[in-house]
């Protein structure tokens, strides 16, 4: 089988599928990408991308096991294989949409579904005991099932090697940001607002090793979860930010939110549902209700907190030190017009540009990124950025499940 893996790496052009379900846990993003070369010589053509929503029972099952100490090992075990089948179906669907027969797909890169992420912490205020434990991370959506059902070599578990090397295991997309967006004459900020907000700063003279990147705080996660709570799961997100726009920010809750210990940490840092998921949102919701805060005001407060936490991190870690020529935004949060307006206002009305202007679809970026990371792995190239994750050095990421 080794020679077949080498054959994939030796091809001048590869058809690669990228798959990911983010911290919002609402579905699978898939992208079909045609890739030539690797590293700084990389050339990418996006053939198709789409999002495939989870069936309601799957979304509920994931939410159950993603809450610490709630799901059983049996639940996680079964869901791992169940999601593997769904990811395989998504891979077949995106290949069909792109008009590429599965036998012509060379590689699949699947991030899977994170259900627990407990990165190391260095500095900042003390964390609750539940978050001060052995650094570890767990993504499910079994890659062996994907490889078996698609007949395509699949690479998965990208976070774990970086974490084993002392890193956060995230963010991983900044390596791809560097390959796709670094510019010899322009300083750029890349913002991805998925379930979590991620930042990459690319100085015009920066090397990959000196790229600054980190998780800034919640993205869509807090807003989406709040919407599901207040609508009793009848609505999954605030379309176009219309609910938030109809509400008012609660100053008392906002002050408390901005004191969250994660915001005080220096990069490298990463976060997830363990800090900004259901438990955090439920506490915020009931605290607001007990004070008579209207549901629409809670959504407005959550949205403004998301924007303010992101903007203040940018001011602290980037804008206070460097001039910036462009700010490029991707992720589902970029489609929330109210959130984008708030973010721009928090940053002094700076112009925010969408990644689509640069050939990368707003909602397809992360799936595209994991196609590219899989391409690097099959070529035996390191693809973490220690400057972003805190790992002790560059590492080849992922586990290979041969076709």
At a CB cut-off of 8 Å and minimum separation 6, what does 153 contact? Answer: 4, 5, 8, 106, 107, 108, 147, 378, 400, 401, 402, 403
pLDDT band for position 130 (50/70/90)? low
pLDDT band for position 118 (50/70/90)? confident
Question: In the predicted model, what is the mean pLDDT of residues 10-24?
Answer: 93
d(CA 99, CA 48): 9
Equal fold, 2-172+362-401 vs 183-358: yes
More confident residue, 83 or 129: 83
pLDDT value, residue 112 = 97
Per-residue pLDDT at 2 exceeds 60:
no
Question: What's the number of CA atoms in the CB half-sphere (13 Å) around residue 34?
Answer: 10
Per-residue pLDDT at 132 exceeds 60:
no
pLDDT band for position 308 (50/70/90)? very high
Least confident stretch, 70-79, 107-116, 183-192, 359-368? 70-79
In this structure, the number of other CB atoms found within 10 A of the CB of residue 214 comes to 27
pLDDT band for position 3 (50/70/90)? low
pTM: 0.93
More confident residue, 95 or 26: 95
Q: What is the pLDDT of residues 147-161, one digit of tens each?
A: 999 999 999 999 999
Per-residue pLDDT at 206 exceeds 60:
yes
What is the CATH architecture assignment of 2-172+362-401?
A: 2-Layer Sandwich (3.30)
pLDDT value, residue 291 = 93
Q: Tell me the β-bridge partners of 253.
A: none
183-358 maps to which CATH number?
3.30.420.40
Per-residue pLDDT at 222 exceeds 90:
yes
Per-residue pLDDT at 43 exceeds 70:
yes
Sign of CA dihedral 223, 226, 232, 238: negative
d(CA 238, CA 253): 20
pLDDT band for position 350 (50/70/90)? very high
Per-residue pLDDT at 248 exceeds 60:
yes
More confident residue, 246 or 132: 246
Per-residue pLDDT at 131 exceeds 90:
no
d(CA 127, CA 92): 43
pLDDT value, residue 178 = 96
Question: In the predicted model, what is the mean pLDDT of residues 159-184?
Answer: 95
Q: What is the pLDDT of residues 71-95, one digit of tens each?
A: 688 999 999 999 999 999 999 999 9
Question: In the predicted model, what is the mean pLDDT of residues 314-327?
Answer: 96
pLDDT value, residue 25 = 79
Where are the domains positioned within the chain? Answer: 2-172+362-401, 183-358
Per-residue pLDDT at 68 exceeds 70:
no
Label the pairing between strands 353-354 and 136-140: unpaired
Helices 337-346 and 295-314 meet at what angle, rounded to 10?
50
- Most confident segment among 233-242, 271-280, 323-332: 323-332
pLDDT band for position 122 (50/70/90)? low
Q: What percent of the chain has pLDDT over 90?
A: 83
pLDDT value, residue 60 = 84
pLDDT value, residue 26 = 79
Are 270 and 171 in contact, with CB atoms under 8 Å apart?
yes
pLDDT value, residue 128 = 59
pLDDT band for position 236 (50/70/90)? confident
Are 266 and 212 in contact, with CB atoms under 8 Å apart?
no
d(CA 390, CA 343): 27
Are 279 and 64 in contact, with CB atoms under 8 Å apart?
no
Q: What percent of the chain has pLDDT over 70?
A: 95
Question: In the predicted model, what is the mean pLDDT of residues 57-66?
Answer: 86
Nearest to 21 by CA among 159, 113, 88, 87: 113
């Amino acid at each position: 089988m080794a020679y077949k893996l080498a054959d994939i790496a030796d091809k001048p052009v590869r058809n690669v599928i990228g798959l990911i379900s983010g911290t919002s846990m609402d579905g699978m993003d898939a992208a079909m990408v045609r890739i030539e070369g690797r590293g700084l010589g990389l050339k990418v053509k996006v053939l198709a991308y789409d999002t495939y929503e989870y069936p309601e029972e799957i979304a509920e099952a994931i939410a159950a096991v993603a809450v610490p100490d709630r799901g059983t090992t049996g639940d996680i075990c079964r869901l791992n294989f169940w999601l593997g089948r769904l990811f395989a179906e998504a891979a077949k669907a995106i290949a069909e949409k792109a008009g590429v027969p599965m036998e012509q797909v060379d590689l699949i890169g699947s991030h899977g579904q994170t259900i627990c992420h407990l990165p190391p912490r260095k500095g900042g205020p003390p964390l609750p005991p539940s978050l001060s434990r052995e650094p570890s991370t767990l993504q499910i959506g079994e890659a062996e099932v994907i490889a078996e059902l698609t007949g395509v070599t699949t690479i998965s578990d990208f976070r774990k090697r970086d974490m084993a090397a002392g890193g956060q295991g995230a963010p991983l997309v900044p390596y791809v940001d560097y390959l796709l967006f670094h510019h010899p004459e322009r300083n750029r900020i890349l913002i991805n607002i998925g379930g979590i907000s991620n930042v990459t700063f690319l100085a015009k003279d920066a090397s990959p090793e000196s790229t600054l990147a980190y998780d800034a705080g919640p993205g869509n996660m807090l807003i989406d979860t709040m919407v599901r709570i207040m609508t009793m799961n009848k609505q999954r997100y605030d379309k176009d930010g219309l609910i938030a726009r109809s509400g008012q920010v609660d100053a008392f809750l906002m002050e408390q939110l901005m004191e969250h210990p994660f915001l005080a940490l220096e990069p490298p840092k990463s976060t997830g549902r363990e800090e900004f998921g259901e438990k955090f949102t439920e506490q915020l919701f009931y605290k607001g209700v007990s004070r008579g805060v209207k549901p629409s005001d809670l959504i407005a407060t959550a949205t403004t907190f998301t924007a303010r936490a992101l903007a203040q991190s940018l001011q602290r870690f980037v804008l206070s030190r460097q001039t910036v020529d462009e700010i490029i935004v991707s992720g589902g949060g970029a489609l929330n017009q109210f959130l984008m307006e708030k973010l721009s206002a928090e940053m002094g009305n700076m112009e925010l540009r969408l990644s689509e202007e640069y050939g990368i679809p707003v909602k397809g970026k992360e799936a595209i990124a994991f196609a590219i990371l899989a391409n690097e792995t099959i070529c035996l190239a390191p693809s973490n950025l220690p400057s972003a994750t805190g790992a002790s050095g560059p590492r080849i990421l992922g586990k290979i499940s041969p076709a």
